[in-house]
Amino acid sequence: MKHNTIPMPDEKGYFGEYGGQVIPPDLVAIMNDINRAYQEISKTPSFKDELNDLYTHYVGRPSPIFYAKRLTEKLGGAKIFLKREDLNHTGAHKINHCLGEALLARHMGKTKVIAETGAGQHGVALATACALVGIDCEIHMGEVDIEKERPNVTKMKILGCTLVPVSRGTRTLKDAVDSAFEEYLKDPVNFIYAIGSVVGPHPFPMMVRDFQSIIGKEARAQFLEEQGRLPDVITACVGGGSNAIGLFTAFLDDELVDIVGVEPAGRGLEKGEHAATMSKGVKGALHGFECYNLQDQSGEPLPVYSIASGLDYPGVGPQHCLLKDLGRAKYVAIDDEECIDAFMTLSRVEGIIPALESAHAVAYAMKIAKKMSSNETILVNLSGRGDKDADFIADKLGL
């Protein structure tokens, strides 16, 4: 059976029973306008040419695939390869969809782009894209994350965006989303909300996926060319899930490729201090769409935790939910300690400091490589670099 979910979602924005537009009727009209504009503008040669030109000459695409030889030798077992999204301009995969969203905003004649950020990578990438296309940018960020991700906060200010600290609730990513959405609703005609992942109401899960799918298209072609075959396992970290769906999309029809999303188990799945939505979540609505999410008895989102601010989210993209139900992808959880171990190991064995988010996927690869044979291969989406996390980890480990 073909699991091809690339033509999805359906016209109402559903991936199976997930996604859609769980929003007030007046907002539905605005989202449908964005969808119409996206469908028309993104297919024009001028938009495609400009975006591809920026990917090549601004972002530095294609990002290479690196064989982590010393890590592989240290672990024994399967060969580990890294898709180096950390080498993109701004240091992560986020720039892929931020350029698309900023160009779309300019084509639609919007005056301001509003967004939330957790680890600050989406914020930096969007502030960068907005500076490039000449449009105002406003980023909402939880106070906890502002404290933790200082380097990214500084970059956003240098790039000229307005940074709005969010002091409500847990003062992290979920609250930043709430705050940004409220600001957006003040003038949705002139503002556009640039969602930072494959979440939110339709068309955002589809739109962000489409912009991020360049990762998987490149990786599949590169791996075939360099190795003469496809990887046995592909893996990526999952919070909202944009870097993961970006990698996974190109491999969905390759039945022999195992697809694995890696969530944060935080301080432990039993303690409740985690953000492992697929492992522990239930079906429900959050931030305008249906998905697996972590919620209490009355349907309110639970407080979530991860050492990686970018994974600190109580929901997950609707296409991931469908892939889980279909059995086409599986979702596992990695805890803080395993994440830190992978962060330090990759840094010291390969000289690559990964983002804490990406280190979850590296940790999973390290875990399974030993159990696999030396002629098998694992491709990890190294979705971001760890500059933003270096001081935090140095403090934590007393380096």
Which residue numbers are catalytic? 94, 116, 383
Whether 238 contacts 264, CB under 8 Å: no
Ranges of beta strands (E only) in the chain are 14-15, 18-19, 65-67, 79-84, 112-117, 136-142, 162-166, 191-193, 233-237, 258-266, 282-286, 289-293, 329-335, 377-382
Q: Which residues contact 23 (CB under 8 A, 6 or more apart)?
A: 31, 201, 288
Question: Cα(first)–Cα(last) distance of the chain, in Å?
Answer: 52
Q: Strand, coil or helix: what is 165?
A: strand
Q: CA nearest 301: which of 166, 175, 137?
A: 175
Alpha carbons within 13 A on the beta-carbon side of 187: 7
Output the CA–CA distances (angstroms, integers) from residue 170 to 289, 305, 314, 398, in the order listed: 21, 9, 12, 26
Output the CA–CA distances (angstroms, integers) from residue 270 to 266, 276, 300, 361, in the order listed: 10, 11, 20, 21
- Characterize 24-38 residue by residue with b for buried, 16 or more Cβ atoms within 10 angstroms of its Cβ, and e for exposed: eeebeebbeebbebb
